Structure 1
Amino acid sequence: MRSIRLTRMDWRDPAFAAGLTLFLVIGTPLVPRGQGIEIQLDPLGYTLLIVSGLTLAFRRVAPTAVLAVTSLATIVYYYFAYPGFFQPSAALVSLYTVAALGARWTALVSGAALCAGLLLISFRPAGLPDRQAFDGPLWVGGWFAAVIVAAETARQRKAYLNEVEQRAVDALRTKEEAAKLRATEERLRIARELHDSLTHAISLVNAQINVAAHLFDRDPDRSRTALFAVKDASKQAMGELRSALEVLRHDDEPERPHSLRQLPDLVKASEQQGVAVKVTVSGDSPAVSQHVDLAAYRIVQESLTNAARHSRASTVSVDVRYDYDKVTVRIEDDGEADSSSVVREGVGIRGMRERVAALGGEFEVGPRPTRGFAVKAVLPLGRSEDDNGGTA
């Protein structure tokens, strides 16, 4: 049997109980006596009417107890043959409350017990003739059945509305969480772009400034060349920063021109820092999606920057191999790292790993068996935006 969900008393319940009590006390004496066996209302009759009505003030706090009191008052009322047919209304209200709160079987059993009690009263020696004995119980029983059905319908409707409301709340929460996740991913993407691009340019500026300062007096021509390299690097940094700011100003991501086709520019920038770069490209270059092309470019860029800043390498090899369904990028340097070196993943390596993971690829980083450092990224090929429906 389902338990009843109790609630706190509402100010409307005492107000309703007082109104119904007033109606019973005033309206019952005005009803004409139908069968001629009813007696006039006396103090006990009025007491039963008042108790039945006022008890409803607690119908939400103690619904089962209120149902028992109103049902017992109804049986006693008709046992003494008091007049009127308004008195069962209090029992009907309490029965509706019990059923609406979820105790359907409690309401059914209580209603059946009340009808049985009224039926027994009808067969008492001073009662109605046999042919009319069932009129009262059937009349009350019909109302009880209608009340239980109405209460169950209202309860089911309320449960349905609560479920719909909860689904709406869950959908809104899911939408907000998805929006927060997209915002977080976008911030991380912008952070990676700023780090990969600006770090490379600033590293180049720092190296060329040192060269210019060191050769300012001894070799003005080389110093001037280094300053021009600083100018180009700073211009590149300004372009990268402007591109990142465009993402923040507009909803649509601006077109990013960086791709593996610009490897010669990265090689030139690295050689200006004193690092010789050897590039090898093998396989047929298919139409690569913009995201894969950009990720590969940034991985090469970050690796060259790390080779110049941290590895103290003099030579770096960049191997790009195109296969049917993937592109493999491998960058190796001849820096100071050896097989016992520990990889400390900073922002740059973590950014490369995130880029590869976002595309569903594979990423490896660590010292080479002999000497130097190696970075390997395997990126699955995606559909190119320039390829009209073709398969990359």
Structure 2
Amino acid sequence: MEEQRTPVAPTGGGPPWRRYGPPGWDRWSEEEHGTRWPWRSTLLLTAFVLLGSTFAARAQHGDRLGLDVFARVLLVTGSGLLLWRQRYPVAVAFGTATVALVYVAAGYPYGPVFLPVAVGCFSAVVAGHRRAAWTAIGLLWAGHLLVSHWLYRWLPPTGDRPPSWMQEVGVATWVVAVVALSELVRVRREQWSRERAERAQAARRRADEERLRIARELHDVLAHSISVINVQAGVGLALLDSDPEQARTALTTIKAASKEALGEVRHVLDTLRAPGEAPRTPAPGLDRLPELVEQAARAGLTVEVRGEAPASAPGTDLAAFRIVQEALTNVVRHSGSRRARVRLDHARGVLRLLIDDDGPATGVDAGGSGNGLAGMRERAAALGGTIEAGPRDDGGFRVLAVLPWKAKEDR
């Protein structure tokens, strides 16, 4: 198994959204999911707004009203609303805009009073409430125009004059910049979410494929060996009294088959325990075809092999071996014939495997999971090959596998 860092096996605990995204994303996400209150940033922003408004009041002395208790309450209220910006982004966006409009309409000095509005609307856009954020900013902009160019005659300070339209253009530019930045962050955030979902899906897919591969390997190993053991156990029981020597031979075959099965199962499990290390023993291939023939002979099946076993790439070699193994296992378990044929042919980049017997089918339930043919098809499909399996017209059964073949030395 190839060792990969995937989202399904992170180190450490914590919520799953903390495992992805750029640095600092985890804090933002924790606030968003309600596990934290953004009190630090809110406190710093409140202090900045109060300090900045104090300096603005000094610079605008005589033009705007000075900061009194009501003004400071408005400043603290507008900034303090940001404490709920992750939980109630829409309410915070409208709340900060309303407080800022009341502050301006009351004649207090311009300054960082609009900063909480920017942060509140920014949070609303990022949270997906775009229309609410735009509406809040639009209402603030319209209310500012109404106060500055019409209601100023009846509002403090006395003798106030409307601002120039160049100043209004500056305010409009500020509004556009806030909206643009918010949309940029929103788009980037959605992209991060898609990437996280794709990584998680890819990790699940790799895990499913690996589970399927292991299940296929264990099925092929155990089905073949257990079939041989089952047949020999039946022979041993039948001949235990009449022919003890033949029964002893059957028991010896059972011992050899079980030992080989344990070795192959251990090989599969070793790849699970040490995914980053090379396996202790090489994966089986067509070079072990004589061993399959010998095992089948112990189970009473004579196998005729035609053609040479090519030195192919490891993936193809293992798949070809398992297909032949499963096909012979099915003959032992389900066929009344005691003879089978295996034909190998490789040419023009294709390896053809033909395994058949003369039948007929015994019709006896030999146990098993019934996934043998499905496993063979999955192995072939994983390499881009095909499997055809079915009864012959004369009563036997045939398995034809066509696999893309690549020479071992070309890898």
2:16 matched residue in structure 1: none
Q: Deviations over 1:44-70 (max 9, x none)?
A: xx9x98999899789847579949974
Rg comparison, structure with higher value: 1
Shift of 1:115: 4.6
Paired residues of 2:316 and 2:383 also in contact (CA < 8 A): yes
**After superposition, what is the alpha-carbon deviation per residue over 1:195-228, rounded to whole angstroms, capped at 9, x for unaligned?**
1112211211221222223223333332222222
Q: Aligned pair 1:86/2:108, yes or no?
A: yes
Q: Does 1:318 align with 2:351?
A: no
Residue 346 of structure 1, CA deviation: 1.8
Residue in 1 aligned with 2:207? 183
Q: In the alignment, which residue of structure 1 is the partner of 2:134?
A: 102
- For residues 217 and 98 of structure 1, the distance between their equivalents in structure 2, rounded to whole angstroms, comes to 91
Q: Aligned partner of 1:234: which letter?
A: S
User: Structure 1 residues 144 and 355 mapped into 2: Cα distance closer, same or farther (>3 Å)?
Assistant: same
Tell me the equivalent position of 2:30.
none
Check conservation: 1:99, 1:152, Cα contact below 8 A.
no
Residue identity in the other structure for 1:229: T
SS in structure 2 of the partner of residue 189 of structure 1: helix
Instruction: Please identify, of 225-234 and 373-382, the stretch whose mean Cα deviation from structure 2 is larger.
Output: 225-234
Partner of 2:372: 348
* Residues 251-290 of structure 1 mapped to structure 2, 5 A cutoff: 251=275, 252=277, 254=279, 255-281=281-307, 287-290=311-314
Would you say the 8 A contact 2:77–2:99 is kept in 1? no
2:20 maps to what in 1? none
What letter matches 2:150 in structure 1?
Answer: G
Q: Which amino acid aligns with 1:277?
A: V
Provide the C-alpha distance between the structure 2 equivalents of 1:98 and 1:197, rounded to a whole number of angstroms. Answer: 63
Equivalent position of 2:390 in the other structure: 366
Give the Å deviation of 1:299: 0.7
1:169 CA drift (Å):
3.3
Aligned mate of 2:402, from 367, 370, 378:
378
Code of the residue aligned with 1:273 in structure 2: it is A
Runs of at least 5 residues in structure 2 that lack an aligned partner in the other structure: 1-37, 82-89, 123-132, 363-367
- C-alpha distance in structure 2 between counterparts of 1:59 and 1:234, whole Å: 71
Q: Distance in 2 between matches of 1:225 and 1:49?
A: 101
The one-letter amino acid of 2:292's match is: L
Deviations 1:95-118 (A, max 9, x none): 869986224666655555555437
Matches of residues 221-300 of structure 1 in structure 2 within 5 Å?
Answer: 221-251=245-275, 252=277, 254=279, 255-281=281-307, 287-300=311-324
Matched pairs, number: 334
Query: Following the alignment from structure 2 to structure 1, what is the Cα–Cα distance between the partners of residues 295 and 241?
Result: 24
1:381 Cα offset (Å): 1.4
Which one of the candidate residues 116, 128, 150 is aligned to 1:117?
Answer: 150
Q: Distance in 2 between matches of 1:257 and 1:60?
A: 63
Q: SS where residue 395 of structure 2 aligns?
A: coil
1:48-67 residue pairs with structure 2 within 5 A?
A: 60=92, 62=94, 66=98
Matched, 1:137 2:162: yes
Counterpart amino acid of 1:267? V
Tell me the equivalent position of 2:10.
none
Correspondence list, 1:14-25, <5 A: none
CA contact (8 A) 1:107 1:148 kept: no
Scaled by the length of structure 1, what TM-score is found?
A: 0.68
Question: Are 1:149 and 2:170 counterparts?
Answer: no
Query: Shift of the alpha carbon at 1:94?
Result: 9.8
**Number of the residue aligned with 2:183:** 159
Provide the secondary structure at the position in 1 that maps to 2:162. helix
Distance 1:379 1:345, change over 3 A: farther
Displacement of 1:148: 3.5
**Aligned partners of 2:352 and 2:401 also within 8 Å:** yes
2:285 maps to a residue whose letter is S
Contact 2:336 2:360 in 1 (8 A): yes
What letter is aligned with 1:261? D
Q: 1:203 touches 1:305 (CA, 8 Å); kept in 2?
A: yes
RMSD of aligned residue pairs (Cα, Å): 4.4
For residues 70 and 54 of structure 1, do their structure 2 counterparts lie closer, same or farther at Cα, with a shift above 3 Å needed?
farther
Cα 1:97–1:305, aligned 2, differ >3 Å: closer, same or farther? closer
Query: Any idea what SS the aligned residue of 2:307 has?
Result: strand
TM-score (norm 2): 0.65
- Distance apart, 1:170 and its partner CA: 2.9
1:354 & 1:49 partners in 2: Cα distance? Answer: 73
Task: Give, in whole Å, the separation in 1 of the partners of 2:91 and 2:111.
Answer: 14
Distance 1:324 1:287, change over 3 A: farther
Say which SS state the counterpart of residue 102 (structure 1) adopts.
helix
CA contact (8 A) 2:74 2:99 kept: no
Distance in 1 between residues matched to 2:121 and 2:251, nearest whole Å: 88
1:222-269 deviations in Å (ceiling 9; x for gaps)? 222222222211211111111111011111462534111221211121
- Contact 1:95–1:147 (CA<8 Å) still a contact in 2? no
Moved more, 310-319 or 108-117: 108-117
